[in-house]
Structure 1
Amino acid sequence: MSDAFDRLKKKGIRPTVPTRDTSLVKKENTEMLNDEMTEFSHLKKTQKQDFIPSEGLQDNAAIAHKEQQSDLPETVRRTIRLEEDIDTELNAFCTAKKITRDTFIEAAFMVCSGNQALMQEIVEEAKKRYQQRKQAGEQRKFQTMAKKINT
């Protein structure tokens, strides 16, 4: 019995691997980086203002690009569930018109927002569909529960 215990004890000993350096900056380069930082920190204020590095020009271009992008509307990613037939028809329609489903939904909402009668009709249809999906979900839940009970 003690022989088996000794074998298990020996098997539990694993070789060790030396730890590796996961730092982003190697130790040799840190002194050089610190020297560069202190070199600029000793400049006079007037010299600092006159000094414009090439990276600063790139930063200005990046800021201008961000300002242009701020004018653009922000989008949000969502997933939607559609009936299989409607999904197929919508994909075919959007492909034929060379638009995306997202832009079609956005445009449809914008047009409906301006037409209250159309919006009301759509809301009523949506409520009917919501009730149908709710009932279908409950039926699927009961079917699943019945399967689990019978097995």
Structure 2
Amino acid sequence: MNQVNREGAFLEKILIKLGIDPTTNYMYLLALICLVMILDYLSGTISAYVNKKIVVKSRTGINGILKKIASLILLLFFIPLSYVVPGQIGIGLLYVLYMGYLLMELQSIFENYQKLGIQTKDFEDFIDSLKKLVYKKSSDKQENEEKHKNK
């Protein structure tokens, strides 16, 4: 089995263990990203109206909407592209992209809540611990691969 097929099989096994069907659940993630984008826009608009230090401009709001639409078009573009990459690696990369974008949108919502005076430290700590867990598992996987190569 070549390296690409082994990596693809490994990513597919991870997705299945997480309860993700590697062929269809990316649409669920995309729908979740759309929902979070709407929440981000609404929380940003509310925080701009409530916080007197922020000047509310319709042009800024329209630019925000256009940026989100452009982002969605780009995220949709990567769906067929992910099937071109062999061995399910493309699907795994698509999930990584979508999860990263989802976390970025959540961070923006937390920033908007902070502008409203809402404490978000507990949520941010939770997300940071998730990131550490993912990075730890990733580094453990790399160490295991290094050991197998050296044998």
**Structure 1 length as normaliser, TM-score?**
0.31
- Please state which structure has a larger fraction of its residues in helix: 2
RCO higher in 1 or 2 (8 Å CA, sep ≥ 6)?
2
**Structure 2 length as normaliser, TM-score?**
0.31
